[in-house]
C-alpha cells in the first residue's frame, strides 16, 4: 500500500499520523493512504502568492500556453499508467478512465492553443472607447491577473480532469494554483501530479497539490484570491459562507448538484430518436452515473413513454457491469461505500416522492468477475414518475449514480416548468425536429441552464452527448447548480482576472498597455 | 411635512404606523415621513416575477431602450423640481444636486442608446464555434434575461443616480426591478419615481420602489433573482451572508467601502500638476465628500509634499461652505446626524493611526447663511501621515466626508504597495508624464481596482475627475470595495442574464436564435 504525498512549496511532502485509507471500490481492499497532518497551509498560500505568482505573470499568454502543452503531452504519454490508477482506485472501466484522463490532456491542449492565439500579451485588452467630447480622452478595459492564489477543490469523480481543467484556465490567466482532489480517489491525481512535476515545465510554486484534508487552508484566503469548488451543494454552501470569504469578497465559483434533464419532443423518429436513446444510455451509465452532468430526469411525450421505457430497457439489458479491469465490462462500481449508501437512500427518496422502479434494483445486480458482497456495485436503474407536478424529490434530490427517472408530459409549457423545478442545472438536452417546439423548449430552458444540447437529425451522427464538458463552452449553471461558470474558452479566464477600466490619453494607453500582434 | 409613498404592484401605497422622519440636513428640521409597515413584500416579488418580467422580455432591446429614453427625458424635464428636493433633503448645493440628477438622466440616455444599437434582438448572442470534426455541430452562447426580480438597494448619497443607473441596466437586460433608496434621502427618489410613473412608459410591474425599510423582502429571493447593493461593507456583508441568498445561489453585486487613492508622480508640473490639484479638490469636497469614489488618500513624492499641502490649502481656502440653497455656497452639510458623528469618529481614528490634521477641523467651520448648531456641517480637512507603512487605519477606514490624507513616498514600489493596502478599491488616479513610471503604477494598481484615471498633460483639459462614474466604464472593485462590477456598457447586462451554451445544428441554431440586424 503506497503512501500518497502532497506537492507543496516545490517539494513532495508526507503528512503525519495515521491518515486516511483509499480503497479499491471493486473489492473494498485498501490501496493507498494519505495524510496532510502537520502541513503549514498558510505557508503554502504565501508561497503561491510570493513565488508562484510573479513568474507566470511575467510570461506571455503564448509562453503560458507552451507550459500547458507540455503538461498535456506528458499526460498523454503516461496515459496507460494513469488509466491503471483510475481502474484501481476509482473503479472505472478503461473507457471511463480514458474519459477522465483524455479530458485532462484535451483541456490542457485546448488552453495551450488559446494561449498561442492570445500571443505575446500578458493581459487582455478590450476595445478602446471615447469617453467625452475630447477625442484624446479614452477608456480601455484591461483584464489583468489577480495577485493571489486560486484554490481548487475537486470532486471524487474526475481525479484527473478536475485538476487539469481548472488549473489550465488559472495558469493561462497567470494565477498560481493550489489544487485539492477528493481524498477517496486521490491516487490518480497523485500519479498525475507526479507526471506534471516530472516535466519540469511548471514554474516554481505555480501548482501545488494537497492529497487529503485542507486543514485551515481556506481561512488564509483574501481579497486577491479565488476559490473554485466542484462537489455537493452542502459543501459548496459551507465554503461560500466562510467568514473570511464573505468579509474579504474572495471570489467563489461553485459547481454543485444538478438534476439535468433530457426532453424528447413529440413525433421524434429515426436518427434523432436513436440519438436520444444513445445519449440517455451514456448519461445514465458512464462513470456509473457519477457525473455532475449525468441525465437524472427524462421527459417524454405521454403518448411515447411506454415505448421509450421499453427501448431503454432493451439497451440497458446489454450493459455489462462488474470488475472494471475485465475487458467486457462497461460499468464499474460506485467510488466509495458512502456513495453506495447515498445512492440507495436516494432511490428510496424518489420512491417516497411517488416514483416507481421500472428497471433494475438498488440492492441486486448481476456482475462479471466481481464479488457483490465486497465492491460498491449497483446496476443501472430506471424509475418512472407519472405525476411530475407532484414529485418534488425527483426534481430536487440528485441521486449520484446510474439511475434516471422517466416522466410523461402533455405540452411544452409543462415540460419547461418541470425541468425548471430542478432549480437551475448544468445542462439540459432536447431532441426533436420540429423547429417551433425546439425553439420554445430551448428558450424556455436557457435561463435555468449553463448549457443545452439540441439534438436533431442533421447532427445526430456528429454530436456529443450532453454530459461531455467541452473547454470551448461554459460549464456551470444557476441556482442549485451553484451559480458558477467555468471554461468557455477565453470567458473562463475572467474569473482569475480583474477588469480595470484605464482612462486617459488614448495614444498613451495604447502605447503602454496594448501589445501588438 | 409630506408622507412618502412606495410604488408597489402598480400602485402608490402608504405604510402604517409612525414611520421614519426625513430631515433637512441644513437645519435639522423634519421635511417628510415614510413607513413601509404592513406591506406584503412577498407579493411585490411575485408581482415583479409574474407581471413585471414577461413584458420586458418580449420587447426588443430597441424597445426597452425607447422606454429608457422616455424616462431619461422626463427626468431632464423635471430637473429643477428634483434639484429642489435634493437641496432640501440631501443638503446638496445646486451643482451637487445636478451631479446626481443629470447622472440619472445621462445613464438612462446612455443605455437607451445601447438598446438602440442592440436593435431587434431580445437576448444577446455570442460567436458560433465548431465543436468537433463535423462541420455542422456548433456551439453558440446565448445570454438570456433571468426570470426573477432584481432587487436594488442604494446608498443615501445618490438618491436619483443610484436608482437610475442600476434600473437602466436591469431593464435593458429585460429584468424587472424593485429599488430601495436609503430612507434618509428618499424624498428625491420619491419625486423621481413620481416623474417616471407619470411618463406611462414603464411596463406594468417592471419598476417598484420602496421608500423605507425592506422588511422581509430579501428572504423571498431565489435562484433566478439578483441583488445589487451599494453602501457600507458591514451591510454588504450581512446581505451577502443571508441564508437563502447563499443556499439558492442568488447573484449578489456589492459596491462597498473604498479608500480611493491619488498618486502624483515625481517631477510633475504645469497642466498635469494643475489637473491633479483640481481633481483632489473636487474629489474631496464634491457632495461633501460623500461619494464612494471620493479620494481618501493622496500619495505624493516626499520632495513635493510640502508644496502640495500648501497648494491644496490655498484651493480649499476658497471653498464656500454653508446653506446649499445660497448661490455662493459650493459645499453643503453631511446628509445626516449619524454621518456627522461617524465623520468625527473617523477623523479620530485616523489621528489614532498617526495622521495629523494639517487643514480644517472636524468640529468648527465657517458657514455662509447657515446655523452650525443645527445643521450637520463640517469643513474640508487635510490630514497628513508621514509614515504610510505604519498607518493602518488610514488605508482601511473610510471616512465618509470631506477629508483626505496626504502621504509621502520615495519610490513607485512603495506607492503601489501602500495603495494596495486599501484592500481593493473602486478607482485610483495617477498623474504624471513619465511613461515608464505611469506604466509601472497603472499595472501595479490594476489588479486592485475597477478603474484607474491616468492624468497626463495632453488630456489635462478634457479629462473627467476620477470620482465621476461613466456608464461606459465598469464601476466596482475587488475586496473591500465589494468585489462587484456594474455598468461598463453591455458588460453590465450580464449580471441580469444567464449565459447558456446552445449546442446543435449550426444552421438551426442560427435560424432559431440569432436575430438578423
The closest CB to that of A137, out of B462, B481, B491, belongs to B462
**For range A91-105, the mean pLDDT:** 97
Residue A125 CB-density burial (10 A; 0-12 exposed, 13-18 middle, 19+ buried): middle
Tell me how far apart the terminal alpha carbons of chain A are, to the nearest angstrom: 52
The closest CB to that of B478, out of A223, A454, A511, belongs to A223
Q: Percentage helix, strand, coil, to 5, in chain A? A: 45, 20, 35
Q: Determine, for residues B473 and A141 on separate chains, whether the beta-carbon distance falls below 8 Å.
A: yes
A292: annotated active-site residue: yes
Rounded Cα distance between B356 and B364, Å, is: 16
Sheet holding A226-230, edge to edge: A11-13, A6-8, A207-209, A177-180, A150-153, A226-230, A251-255
**For range B283-290, the mean pLDDT:** 97
> Any alpha helices (H) in A248-359, and if so which ranges?
270-285, 305-317, 337-352
pLDDT for residue B481 is more than 70: yes
Rounded Cα distance between A293 and A314, Å, is: 23
> Any alpha helices (H) in A91-153, and if so which ranges?
94-118
Tell me the Ramachandran region of residue A332: left when phi exceeds 0, alpha when psi lies from -120 to 50, beta otherwise: beta
Rounded Cα distance between A464 and A440, Å, is: 22
- The dihedral through the CA atoms of B402, B408, B411, B413 has a sign that is negative
Which residues of chain B have a CB within 8 Å of the CB of A478? 146, 223-224, 249, 498
pLDDT for residue B134 is more than 90: no
* B180-208 pLDDT tens trace: 999 999 999 999 999 999 999 999 999 99
CA separation (Å) from B308 to A175, B18, B271, B314, B407?
38, 51, 14, 10, 10
Size (chain A), residues:
517
Please give the pLDDT value at position B394. Answer: 97
Rounded Cα distance between B260 and B238, Å, is: 23
CA separation (Å) from B491 to B110, B115, B240, B471, B474?
13, 13, 22, 10, 8
pLDDT for residue A517 is more than 90: no
Q: Which residues pair with B395 in a beta bridge?
A: none
Q: 10 Å Cβ neighbour count for B361?
A: 11
Rounded Cα distance between A401 and A284, Å, is: 8
Q: 10 Å Cβ neighbour count for A515?
A: 13
- Pairing of the two strands A29-34 and A261-264: unpaired
pLDDT for residue B318 is more than 90: yes
pLDDT for residue A91 is more than 80: yes
Please give the pLDDT value at position B204. Answer: 96
- Pairing of the two strands A449-455 and B11-13: unpaired
Residue A14 CB-density burial (10 A; 0-12 exposed, 13-18 middle, 19+ buried): middle
* A407-443 pLDDT tens trace: 999 999 999 999 999 999 999 999 999 999 999 999 9
Tell me whether A315 touches chain B (CB under 8 Å): no
Tell me the Ramachandran region of residue A90: left when phi exceeds 0, alpha when psi lies from -120 to 50, beta otherwise: alpha
Q: Determine, for residues B462 and A505 on separate chains, whether the beta-carbon distance falls below 8 Å.
A: no
Please give the pLDDT value at position A132. Answer: 87
pLDDT band per the 50, 70, 90 thresholds, residue A221: very high
Nearest CA in chain A to B139: A473
Size (chain B), residues:
517
Rounded Cα distance between B188 and B182, Å, is: 11
Rounded to 10 degrees, the C-alpha dihedral A106/A111/A116/A121 comes to -170
Tell me how far apart the terminal alpha carbons of chain B are, to the nearest angstrom: 52
What grid cell was written down for B448?
A: 486592485
Alpha-carbon A326 to chain mean position: 27
Cα-flanking dihedrals φ and ψ of residue A505, to 5°? Answer: -70, 120
Tell me whether A322 touches chain B (CB under 8 Å): no
Cβ-contact B129, A470 below 8 angstroms: no
From the candidates A292, A398, A485, A486, which is the catalytic residue? A292
- The dihedral through the CA atoms of B207, B213, B215, B218 has a sign that is positive
Nearest CA in chain B to A253: B249
Rounded Cα distance between A51 and A49, Å, is: 6
Please give the pLDDT value at position A353. Answer: 95
Please give the pLDDT value at position B132. Answer: 87
Which residues of chain B have a CB within 8 Å of the CB of A449? 498, 500
Please give the pLDDT value at position A48. Answer: 98
Please give the pLDDT value at position B160. Answer: 98
Residue whose grid cell is 484607474: B452
Rounded Cα distance between B458 and B431, Å, is: 12
pLDDT band per the 50, 70, 90 thresholds, residue A1: confident
**For range B83-94, the mean pLDDT:** 97
What grid cell was written down for B242?
A: 443571508
DSSP conformational letter for B12: E
Across chain A, what does the average pLDDT equal? 96
Please give the pLDDT value at position B284. Answer: 98
What grid cell was written down for A262?
A: 433530457
* A141-160 pLDDT tens trace: 999 999 999 999 999 999 99
pLDDT for residue B282 is more than 70: yes
pLDDT for residue A188 is more than 80: yes
Burial B224-240 (b: 16+ CB within 10 A, else e): bbbbbbbbbbeebbebb
The closest CB to that of A504, out of B454, B498, B507, belongs to B454
Please give the pLDDT value at position B517. Answer: 63
Tell me whether B75 touches chain A (CB under 8 Å): no
The closest CB to that of A439, out of B147, B435, B512, belongs to B512
pLDDT band per the 50, 70, 90 thresholds, residue A204: very high
Which residues of chain A have a CB within 8 Å of the CB of B237? 246-247
% pLDDT > 70, chain A? 100
Residue-wise DSSP of A474-508: EE--SGGG-S--EESGGGGGGGGEEEEEEEEEHHH
**For range B223-236, the mean pLDDT:** 95
Cβ-contact A495, B499 below 8 angstroms: no
CA separation (Å) from B433 to A6, B270, B298, B382, B407?
49, 11, 18, 26, 20
Please give the pLDDT value at position A235. Answer: 94
Rounded Cα distance between A415 and A408, Å, is: 9
pLDDT for residue B296 is more than 80: yes
Closest to A152 in 3D by CA, of A245, A84, A231, A88:
A231
**For range A402-410, the mean pLDDT:** 98
pLDDT band per the 50, 70, 90 thresholds, residue B98: very high
Q: Which residues pair with B129 in a beta bridge?
A: B139
Q: Is B10 helix (H, G, I), strand (E, B) or coil?
A: coil
* A and B: number of Cβ contacts within 8 A: 258
From the candidates A165, A211, A255, A486, which is the catalytic residue? A255
pLDDT band per the 50, 70, 90 thresholds, residue B1: confident
Return the half-sphere exposure (C-beta side, CA atoms, 13 A cut-off) of residue B221: 30
Residue A459 CB-density burial (10 A; 0-12 exposed, 13-18 middle, 19+ buried): buried
Rounded Cα distance between B311 and B407, Å, is: 15
Tell me whether A247 touches chain B (CB under 8 Å): yes
Cβ-contact A458, A270 below 8 angstroms: no
> Any alpha helices (H) in B286-330, and if so which ranges?
305-317
Across chain B, what does the average pLDDT equal? 96
Residue A1 CB-density burial (10 A; 0-12 exposed, 13-18 middle, 19+ buried): exposed
Tell me whether A142 touches chain B (CB under 8 Å): yes
Alpha-carbon A41 to chain mean position: 25
Q: Which residues pair with A300 in a beta bridge?
A: A408
∠ CA B198-B199-B205 to the nearest 5 degrees? 80
% pLDDT > 90, chain B? 98
Cα-flanking dihedrals φ and ψ of residue A23, to 5°? Answer: -120, 170
Q: Determine, for residues B458 and A136 on separate chains, whether the beta-carbon distance falls below 8 Å.
A: yes
The closest CB to that of B223, out of A249, A424, A499, belongs to A424
Tell me whether A498 touches chain B (CB under 8 Å): yes
* B13-43 pLDDT tens trace: 999 999 999 999 999 999 999 999 999 999 9
* B500-511 pLDDT tens trace: 999 999 999 999
* B38-55 pLDDT tens trace: 999 999 999 999 999 999
% pLDDT > 90, chain A? 98
CA separation (Å) from B284 to A257, A328, B270, B442, B449?
49, 75, 21, 22, 19
Amino acid at each position: 500500500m503506497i503512501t500518497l504525498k502532497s506537492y507543496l512549496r516545490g517539494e513532495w511532502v508526507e503528512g503525519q499520523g495515521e491518515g486516511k485509507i483509499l480503497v479499491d471500490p471493486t473489492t473494498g481492499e485498501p490501496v493507498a493512504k494519505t495524510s496532510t497532518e502537520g502541513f503549514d497551509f498558510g505557508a503554502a498560500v504565501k508561497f503561491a502568492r510570493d513565488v508562484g505568482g510573479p513568474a507566470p505573470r511575467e510570461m506571455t499568454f503564448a509562453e503560458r500556453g507552451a507550459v500547458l502543452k507540455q503538461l498535456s503531452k506528458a499526460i498523454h504519454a503516461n496515459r496507460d499508467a494513469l488509466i491503471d490508477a483510475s481502474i484501481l482506485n476509482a473503479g472505472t472501466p478503461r473507457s471511463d478512465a480514458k474519459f477522465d484522463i483524455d479530458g485532462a490532456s484535451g483541456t490542457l491542449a485546448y488552453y495551450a492553443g488559446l494561449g498561442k492565439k492570445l500571443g505575446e500579451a500578458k493581459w487582455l485588452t478590450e476595445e478602446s472607447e471615447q469617453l467625452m467630447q475630447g477625442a484624446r480622452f479614452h477608456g480601455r478595459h484591461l483584464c489583468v491577473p489577480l495577485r493571489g492564489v486560486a484554490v481548487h477543490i475537486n470532486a471524487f469523480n474526475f481525479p484527473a480532469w478536475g485538476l487539469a481543467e481548472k488549473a489550465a484556465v488559472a495558469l493561462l490567466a497567470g494565477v498560481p494554483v493550489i489544487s485539492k482532489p477528493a481524498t477517496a480517489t486521490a491516487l490518480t491525481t497523485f500519479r498525475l501530479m507526479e507526471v506534471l512535476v516530472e516535466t519540469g515545465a511548471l514554474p516554481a510554486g505555480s501548482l501545488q497539490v494537497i492529497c487529503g484534508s485542507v486543514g485551515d487552508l481556506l481561512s488564509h484566503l483574501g481579497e486577491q484570491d479565488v476559490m473554485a469548488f466542484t462537489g455537493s451543494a452542502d459543501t459548496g454552501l459551507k465554503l461560500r459562507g466562510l467568514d473570511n470569504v464573505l468579509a474579504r469578497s474572495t471570489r467563489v465559483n461553485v459547481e454543485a448538484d444538478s438534476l439535468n434533464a433530457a426532453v424528447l419532443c413529440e413525433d421524434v423518429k429515426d436518427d434523432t430518436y436513436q440519438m436520444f436513446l444513445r445519449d440517455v444510455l451514456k448519461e445514465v451509465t458512464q462513470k456509473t452515473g457519477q457525473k455532475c452532468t449525468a441525465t437524472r430526469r427524462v421527459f417524454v411525450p405521454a403518448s411515447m413513454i411506454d415505448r421509450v421505457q421499453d427501448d431503454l430497457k432493451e439497451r440497458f439489458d446489454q450493459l455489462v457491469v462488474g470488475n472494471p479491469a475485465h475487458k467486457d465490462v462497461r460499468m464499474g462500481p460506485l467510488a466509495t461505500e458512502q456513495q453506495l449508501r447515498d445512492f440507495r437512500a436516494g432511490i428510496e427518496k424518489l420512491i417516497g416522492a411517488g416514483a416507481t422502479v421500472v428497471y433494475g434494483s438498488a440492492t441486486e445486480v448481476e456482475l462479471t468477475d466481481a464479488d457483490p458482497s465486497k465492491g460498491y456495485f449497483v446496476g443501472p436503474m430506471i424509475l418512472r414518475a407519472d405525476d411530475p407536478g407532484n414529485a418534488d424529490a425527483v426534481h430536487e434530490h440528485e441521486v449520484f449514480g446510474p439511475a434516471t427517472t422517466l416522466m410523461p408530459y402533455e405540452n411544452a409549457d409543462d415540460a419547461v416548468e418541470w425541468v425548471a423545478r430542478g432549480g437551475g442545472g448544468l445542462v439540459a438536452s432536447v431532441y426533436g425536429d420540429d423547429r417551433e417546439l425546439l425553439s420554445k423548449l430551448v428558450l424556455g430552458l436557457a435561463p435555468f441552464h449553463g448549457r443545452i444540447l439540441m439534438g436533431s437529425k442533421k447532427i445526430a451522427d456528429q454530436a456529443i452527448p450532453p454530459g461531455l464538458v467541452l473547454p470551448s463552452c461554459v460549464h456551470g449553471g444557476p441556482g442549485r447548480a451553484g451559480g458558477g461558470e467555468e471554461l468557455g474558452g477565453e470567458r473562463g479566464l475572467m474569473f482569475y482576472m480583474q477588469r480595470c477600466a484605464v482612462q486617459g490619453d488614448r495614444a498613451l494607453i495604447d502605447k503602454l498597455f496594448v501589445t501588438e500582434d
